[in-house]
Amino acid sequence: MKFSQYPTNVPKLETIQTELGALIDLFAQAKTAKEAVEAVKKVQAYSDELGTDVTIINIRFSLDTNDKKISDANDYLDTIYPYISQLSNRFNKLLVESPFRAELEKVFGDYLFKMMETALKCFDDSIMELLASEAKLQTEYNRLISGAKIKFRGGIYNLSQMGKFTQDKDRATRKEAYKATTKFFAKNDEKLGQIYGDLVAIRDQMAKKLGFKNFVELGYLKLGRLDYTAADVKGYRDQIYREVVPFVNRLYKQIAKRAGISNPKIYDLNQSFADGNPTPKGDREYLVKQATKMYDEMSPETSEFFHFMVENELLDLDARAGKRGGGYMTYMPRYKAPFIFANFNGTQGDVDVLTHEVGHAFQGFQSRNISVPEYRMPTLESCEIHSMSMEFFAWPWMHLFFDQDKKYHLSHLEGAIKFLPYGVSVDEFQEWVYENPNVTHEERCAKWREIEKKYLPIRKYTGLNYLEKGTYWLRQGHIFTSPFYYIDYTLAQVLAFQFATEMFKNREKAWKKYVKLCKLGGRYPFVELLDHANLRNPFIEGNVKKVIVPLKKKLKELNEEFA
Ligand code: ZN
């Protein structure tokens, strides 16, 4: 069945309360372990169905935020989420307190029960209104950002479409494009500052109502971080500061020299070569054709999977007016189908989608037969390992997408390393924000600029006074809609580097290890999953250095081509 044929069913709250409520009652009344197991399976099947309907609406809304009918359906979902949480909260409570818990753990695994106990700590009826307000504000942010209409050289573009100009090889174009997008944020500064201030206040109130000191611990638990804490992450950020920041500073200088830029400004930092960054050889249709060839050659598993995606219209890749920005992968259990959303803009990023998001989707597909829904996908930092590693496994096929694949290899690896200091900045900022929930928008901006100077001293905003005030973070959507999530990309990057280094040595061995990881799905929390997959834990002091050192050698090797 093709995506366009999937029905759009708007779930009605009353129906859910009746139907799901009845299944939960069935579990509550179970007289034997066998009955209890059967009831749990029924609840899981129901939540797969409901989850599929919700996901289809979320996808269709992101594809066209101007469609009134789907937008209303999406708004309606925002209002009913808290009631659905209330129902699942009731079920979770019954589950962890079940007289048959020991037997249930044997069937479903004890990790499920740990997840439920965590979910219980994160919810109480008293925060329902706050949850609804939070969802509303997040939608408001997304709407404001995706509705951006930026005037540039006679055309009107959204933020994703502007990416092409901010990465243009002509410096004047980049500068002008940067000014144009910055103008949008400056114009909406008050509104954005207000939305974020409200979000922080709401999250802080929720945390306090649930008995936490502030939102930090709650934010971690909401992300299912069961085997590491904010203190571990702080230690990890310190490792990045010591081992990566000085190296990245040298790297930026080296790249600027290669690109023929003296005294680089913010709009120069994504330029890797004097004659421009590698750009894909063709449009969406061409790139998908090349990706099909690549995945056919890569392995039998990737071949089967990618044909499934293309034939069932599970990729929506072109940027369009009204379409939400960014990219994501999601999964619809009823159809055992992943879905990939992206905004192609003619840059190298388009190929990254065909490797990164496809990596996510590949894992979803590999885990499609895991029966416990909660075990199909791991926590988010683990999910990014699948995608970021696939970017490296795709290296040998980059000539299908770029005239100069060597250029791609070099700028991809440099880009991945350069990303780490930015990623930890976003995290350090958020930790400070939630530890100091009562500060003003201006104070938040000043703190951002201070953190930026610590991790990204290369960033200069000469001529862009608005950004000099410390406002770059306003364009980082995760800060608004997915608190504490961003560090996950950096953790996963450190893991993907391990796959890359192993791949350079022995591709077949590395690939087997990767497929094994994908098939493990979400059976374990992050640190435990790394143990099962035989990967280095980035929280252990010294491990970041161990991962970075072999890459320095690889970069030197790649650079020699361009000396
Ligand atoms: Zn991703």
**How far is Cα 518 from Cα 362, in angstroms, rounded to an integer?**
8
**Confidence category of residue 349, pLDDT binned at 50, 70, 90:** confident
Centre of ligand 1 to C-alpha 352, Å, is: 10
Ligand 1 centre and the CA of 345: distance in Å? Answer: 18
Q: Quote the ligand 1 centre to 19 CA distance (angstroms).
A: 34
- Helix (H) / strand (E) element for 332: namely strand 328-332
Rounded to the nearest angstrom, the distance between the alpha carbon of 360 and the centre of ligand 1 is 7
Q: Is 332 left (phi over 0), alpha (psi -120 to 50) or beta?
A: beta
The pLDDT assigned to 275 comes to 87
pLDDT at position 470:
97
Distance 342 CA to ligand 1 centre (A): 11
Tell me the per-residue pLDDT of 130-167, one tens digit each, with 9 for 90 and over.
998 999 999 899 889 988 999 999 999 988 889 889 98
Query: What pLDDT was estimated at residue 164?
Result: 85
What residue type is 251 in one-letter code?
Answer: L
Question: Which residue is listed with tokens 């200069």?
Answer: 460
Average pLDDT, the chain: 95
The rounded Å distance from CA 470 to ligand 1 centre is: 26
Ligand 1 centroid vs 90 CA: distance in angstroms? 32
C-alpha dist (Å) from residue 365 to 280, 345, 374, 524: 27, 27, 15, 18
What is the predicted pLDDT for the residue at 205?
A: 98
For residues 497 and 544, the answer to whether their CB atoms sit within 8 Å is: no
Span from the CA of 472 to the centroid of ligand 1 (angstroms): 21
Residue 387 Cα to ligand 1 midpoint, Å, equals 6
pLDDT value of residue 167: 86
User: Is it the case that residue 336 has pLDDT exceeding 90?
Assistant: yes
Among the listed residues 384, 472, 435, the one whose alpha carbon sits nearest the alpha carbon of residue 192: 472
Task: Please check the confidence at residue 563 and state whether its pLDDT lies above 80.
Answer: no
How remote is the CA of residue 250 from the centroid of ligand 1, in Å? 27
Question: Is residue 157 within a helix (H) or strand (E), and if so which, with residue range?
Answer: strand 155-157
Work out whether strand 155-157 and strand 150-152 pair parallel, antiparallel, or are unpaired. Answer: antiparallel
Q: What is the per-residue pLDDT across 403-459, written as a single tens digit (0 to 9) for each?
A: 989 999 999 999 999 999 999 999 999 999 999 999 999 999 999 999 999 999 999
Q: What is the pLDDT of residues 486-517, one digit of tens each?
A: 999 999 999 999 999 999 999 999 999 999 99
How many A from CA of 326 to the centre of ligand 1?
11
Q: How far, in Å, is the centroid of ligand 1 from the Cα of 487?
A: 12
pTM higher than 0.75: yes
